[in-house]
């Protein structure tokens, strides 16, 4: 009797992103945006396979995903007039058939939409945050909040600043001043005019209202996470929602650093030891279901009594985190290998 132990088969993971039929035909692990992730997966014994998705050939993508152990997904929630409705249904289907999906659409709905700002407002990263389920509620409640200072309005699902506004009351006019995060100059509108612009946000979701953070012009820190471990940082000064021309002129590209960056070790400790465990508990997310790569954007809050900075969460990105620090692919691969080990 042959008792020699057979080697375990190599695990396979698809990396899924949007593209057309030509991109699908030509995709390999040696080209495209994710070469570094493919290489990191290979280094831990996982075979990576490109999977290009479009609604027009969704059935072929489904068959491809059913033949692998897991899939890492990089698709924006809104892009070129399209959303993820069809893709999310496909991913739920293959996940129900035993394929590990990161991030699973249900996890994205819990932590990757702006509603997470409201649901976690009691945490250390929280701020004065309201949730509007209807346009009528927004019309009734927003004026009182504007009386306390500028607010930031955010549609529940979006990316690239789409559906994000700074709104403030004018001192000597019934009009309000609004600044679209994707534009350079503010406008003066009536509240009803602004609400009409926001009406579509309520068709398939809610609207979040946060107090504006006056230290926004000092920059935003992005903490990258692989599961519950920090995978690096990005820092940059932003133009979005910044009124001052001088402050806007200082805006620049995001600069990436490793998880050892001494400037952000307090933030790393908070994320790994306190905030991520609190997040998973509040939102009922199993630790093993945390995405292989996600990030949290922080603005600087009020300076604390000991002179240290506080951090205010601006959003969590889960659907399509890219680019990222150079060290992140290695952390992603470790996360994938650990998660696939659970399937053995």
pLDDT tier, 343 (very low <50, low <70, confident <90, very high otherwise): low
- Concatenating the DSSP letter of every residue in 54-69 gives -GGGHHHHHHHHTTSS
CB atoms within 10 A of CB 134: 11
User: Are 102 and 292 spatial neighbours (Cβ–Cβ below 8 Å)?
Assistant: yes
CA distance 24 to 28: 9
Q: Where are the alpha helices (DSSP H) in the chain?
A: 21-26, 35-43, 58-65, 85-96, 105-111, 115-119, 135-146, 191-198, 245-249, 265-269, 276-283, 328-341
**What number is the average pLDDT over the span 22-31?**
95
| Radius of gyration (C-alpha) of the chain in whole angstroms | 22
- Concatenating the DSSP letter of every residue in 56-107 gives GGHHHHHHHHTTSSEEEEE--SEETTEESHHHHHHHHHHHHTT-EEET-HHH
Of 38-42, 250-254, 276-280, 316-320, the poorest mean pLDDT is in: 250-254
pLDDT tier, 1 (very low <50, low <70, confident <90, very high otherwise): very low
Which two structure tokens, joined as six digits, stand for 208?
């979040």
pLDDT of residue 294: 98
pLDDT in tens, 78-116: 888 889 999 999 999 999 999 999 999 999 999 999 999
217 closest CA partner among 194, 236, 202: 236
Q: Which residues are CB-contacts of 305 (< 8 A; sequence separation ≥ 6)?
A: none
**What number is the average pLDDT over the span 193-204?**
93
pLDDT of residue 237: 93
Higher pLDDT pick, 268 / 160: 268
pLDDT of residue 243: 83
Which two structure tokens, joined as six digits, stand for 323?
């680019």
Angle at alpha carbon of residue 209, lines to 206 and 214, rounded to 5°: 150
pLDDT of residue 8: 57
5 has a pLDDT exceeding 90 = no
pLDDT of residue 157: 86
pLDDT in tens, 108-156: 999 999 999 999 999 999 999 999 999 999 999 999 999 999 999 999 9
pLDDT in tens, 7-18: 457 899 999 999
Q: Which residues are CB-contacts of 126 (< 8 A; sequence separation ≥ 6)?
A: 117, 120, 312, 313
52 closest CA partner among 73, 76, 77: 73
Q: DSSP class of residue 129?
A: E
pLDDT of residue 172: 87
113 closest CA partner among 86, 148, 76: 76
Q: Tell me how far CA of residue 220 lies from CA of 46, 120, 180, 241, 266, in angstroms.
A: 34, 19, 18, 12, 15
pLDDT in tens, 39-73: 999 999 999 999 999 999 999 999 999 999 999 99
Indicate the average pLDDT of the chain: 93
**What number is the average pLDDT over the span 239-252?**
86
pLDDT tier, 248 (very low <50, low <70, confident <90, very high otherwise): confident
């Amino acid at each position: 009797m042959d008792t020699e132990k057979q080697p375990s088969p190599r695990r396979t993971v698809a990396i899924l992103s949007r593209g057309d039929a030509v991109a699908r035909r030509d995709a390999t692990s040696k080209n495209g945006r994710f070469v570094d992730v493919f290489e990191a997966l290979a280094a831990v014994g996982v075979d990576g396979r490109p999977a290009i998705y479009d609604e027009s050939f969704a059935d072929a993508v489904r068959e491809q995903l059913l033949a692998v152990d897991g899939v890492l997904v990089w698709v924006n929630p809104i892009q070129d007039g399209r959303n993820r409705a069809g893709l999310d249904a496909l991913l739920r289907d293959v996940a129900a058939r035993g394929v590990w999906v990161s991030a699973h659409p249900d996890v994205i709905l819990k932590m990757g939409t702006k509603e997470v700002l409201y649901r976690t407002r009691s945490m250390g990263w929280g701020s004065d945050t309201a949730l509007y389920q209807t346009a009528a509620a927004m019309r009734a409640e927003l004026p009182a909040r504007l009386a306390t200072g500028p607010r930031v309005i955010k549609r529940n699902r979006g990316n690239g600043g789409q559906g994000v506004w700074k709104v403030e009351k004018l001192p000597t006019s019934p009009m309000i001043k609004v600044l679209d995060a994707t534009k350079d100059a503010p406008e003066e509108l009536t509240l009803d005019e602004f609400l009409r612009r926001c009406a579509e946000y309520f068709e398939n979701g809610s609207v979040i209202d946060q107090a504006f953070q006056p230290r926004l012009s000092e920059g935003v820190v992005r903490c990258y996470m692989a599961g519950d471990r920090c995978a690096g940082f990005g820092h940059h000064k932003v133009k979005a929602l910044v009124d001052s021309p001088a402050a806007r002129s200082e805006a620049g590209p995001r600069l990436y650093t490793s998880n050892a960056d001494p400037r952000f070790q307090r933030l790393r400790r908070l994320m790994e030891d306190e905030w991520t465990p609190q997040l998973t508990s509040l939102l009922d997310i199993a630790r093993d279901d945390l995405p292989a790569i996600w990030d949290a954007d922080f603005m600087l809050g009020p300076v604390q009594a000991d002179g240290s900075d506080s951090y205010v969460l601006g959003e969590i990105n889960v659907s399509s985190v890219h680019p990222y620090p150079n060290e992140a692919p290695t952390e992603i691969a470790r996360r994938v290998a650990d998660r696939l080990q659970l399937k053995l």
